[in-house]
Amino acid sequence: MNTEIKKVVTKVKDAQEKLQKVLKNKSWIEDARKYAERQSHEVKKLLTSDVSKVKAFLERERKELERFQKEVPGEVKKIKALFKAQSKELSKLLVTVRKGAKKKASAPAKKKATKKATGTKKKSSSSASSN
């Protein structure tokens, strides 16, 4: 068991020495920095084309939106005028329907009265004949 512990301790010491050498050397830090810079330039190249496309798209959409905003007040006026005209037409139709309903209501009432009068005469004559 002692030999196993000694083996582990020597391995840890070797690893620690290697780590100390790497940390003292610091060349890996410079290599990592250079690699990161290269990658950032590549990413910037990729993104600039996409960003320009997005900017162009947003500019087109902004212009179209401004055009719609200019059209909206005119369209609202047109719709208001249409509703007013439709309202006037509906009012005229309602007046016409009311006048027609009054005329029809008064005309059938006279016919019903005459039918009832003739119906009562028949009943009285038929009841008189059965007596």
Residue range 40-50: average pLDDT? Answer: 87
Q: Is the pLDDT of residue 38 over 60?
A: yes
For residue 74, pLDDT beyond 70 = yes
- At 46, list the tokens: 């990729």
> DSSP state, 26?
-
Q: Look at residue 123 and tell me whether its pLDDT is greater than 70.
A: no
Q: Is the dihedral of CA 76, 78, 81, 86 positive or negative?
A: negative
What's the pLDDT tens digit per position in 97-113? 888 877 777 765 555 55
- Among 20-24, 42-46, 100-104, top mean pLDDT goes to 42-46
Give the residue with greater pLDDT, 97 vs 129. Answer: 97
Q: In angstroms, how far apart are the furthest CA atoms of the chain?
A: 144
Arithmetic mean of pLDDT, 38-52: 87
In angstroms, the CA 11 to CA 16 distance is: 9
Find the Cα–Cα–Cα–Cα dihedral 94, 100, 102, 106, rounded to 10°.
-170
At 32 the pLDDT is 85
Confidence class for position 82, pLDDT limits 50, 70, 90: very high
**What are the sequence ranges of the domains in the chain?**
17-108
> Binning pLDDT at 50, 70 and 90, where does residue 131 land?
very low
State yes or no: pLDDT of 35 exceeds 80.
Answer: yes
Cα(19)–Cα(17) distance, rounded to whole angstroms? 5
